[in-house]
Amino acid sequence: MAKTNNKLGLALVGLGEYSSGQLAPALKETKYCYLSGIVTGSTDKADEWKKQYEIPGKNIYDYKNFDAIKNNADIDIIYIVLPNAMHHEFVIRAAKAGKHVICEKPMALTVEDCDEMIAACKAANKMLSIGYRLHFEPHNLEMMRLGQQKIFGPIKGMIAEDGLAEVEGWRLNKTLAGGGPLMDVGIYCVQGVRYTTGLEPIAVTAKEGTKKNKEKFKEVEESLTWTMELPNGIVAECKTSYSEELNLLRAEAQNGWFELTTAYEYTGIKGETVEGKMKFPQINQQAKQMDDFAQAIMNNRPTPVPGEMGRQDVKILNAIYRAMETGDRVTV
């Protein structure tokens, strides 16, 4: 695609499932940014994407020559879509190349790494956002409104569950993933509870589920249940799994309940309250998310999903793992 004046150029780093299945197609629908470059370790993928998305050869990089992206005026935003453990290195390299950055979730494996990523972007005077697409999704936005504005009175409790029945590859490797389903999909439960209540967890307790497949899950948990205590006596009961499909975000408030029963998917999100079904359209979440970031850059305003939000989630995820390992109640 040719450089256009009114759109920011975005380069995807890591052309796996999420980049090819969601982000690149979404970048055909975006109004304020477009796919101007790619960073990949595979020459086959480079050729394929070059043709499919009309990417000029000069905008194609590999992981070694990536830093030369600094001199490429076609690329304003770098989007890191690599395995979790690689986010830290590549966000810092992107910032040092003088580019704005979007980093996929979970932001990193440790809070210290998150701090370094935030500091690198600040030092470069560039914006950093996390790929939290649900902050742009109408049903999830409605959960925020109902919860934070106490439309059904104060929230008493929440249930949040997110699980996948089938996973493979680096997601089962502790070094690359940082953990199991909690890092990958359980993070959406933490997010959901935080944005529905508008409050921060104070303490957590957690219990690892029994491993049905000990060989497959020798490095990471297969499933995990945890409880988050929030201010005002709110308790959130959460569950994540790599052997069971789960998808729920539910709030019990003083005067009624509200929930999403497909809460975190790319499409097919369904919501209901004590008063009836929610009626919102399904939208392209990734297109909305990337366009919002491009507009934030253009208008010099903050992103609603900054690095600091990703850092807080990593802090909570680490507290949950500590609680799981020790059996103790861990303050966040």
Among 54, 154, 165, 169, binds ligand NAD (CB under 6 A): 169
The token duo for 198 is: 């508008």
Contact of 69 with 40, CB cutoff 8 Å: no
Nearer to ligand NAD, 154 or 169 (CB): 169
Active-site residue, 264 included: no
From the candidates 99, 105, 126, 239, give the one annotated as an active-site residue. Answer: 105
Nearer to ligand NAD, 140 or 205 (CB): 140
What's the start-to-end Cα distance of the chain, in Å?
A: 46
Among 8, 10, 11, 14, binds ligand NAD (CB under 6 A): 14
Contact of 61 with 50, CB cutoff 8 Å: no
Whole-angstrom Cα distance, residue 39 to residue 11?
A: 7
Task: Indicate whether 56 belongs to the interface with ligand NAD (CB under 6 A).
Answer: no
Whole-angstrom Cα distance, residue 105 to residue 244?
A: 21
Nearer to ligand NAD, 72 or 84 (CB): 84
Task: Indicate whether 196 belongs to the interface with ligand NAD (CB under 6 A).
Answer: no
Whole-angstrom Cα distance, residue 6 to residue 145?
A: 32
Nearer to ligand NAD, 18 or 280 (CB): 18
Task: Indicate whether 30 belongs to the interface with ligand NAD (CB under 6 A).
Answer: no
Q: Which residues pair with 113 in a beta bridge?
A: none
In the block, residue with structure tokens 């507290």: 319
From the candidates 61, 188, 264, 321, give the one annotated as an active-site residue. Answer: 188
Task: Indicate whether 185 belongs to the interface with ligand NAD (CB under 6 A).
Answer: no
Output the furthest CA–CA distance in the chain (Å, rounded). Answer: 59
Whole-angstrom Cα distance, residue 8 to residue 17?
A: 23
Nearer to ligand NAD, 108 or 118 (CB): 108
Q: What are phi and psi of 240, to 5 degrees?
A: -140, 155
- Minimum CB separation from ligand NAD for residue 114, in Å? 14
- Minimum CB separation from ligand NAD for residue 170, in Å? 4
Active-site residue, 53 included: no
Nearby residues of 194 by Cβ (< 8 Å), 6 or more positions away: 200, 201, 312, 313
- Minimum CB separation from ligand NAD for residue 48, in Å? 12
Which positions are annotated as active-site residues? 105, 188
What are the residues binding ligand NAD (CB under 6 A)? Answer: 14-19, 41, 81-84, 104-105, 131, 133, 169-170, 176, 184
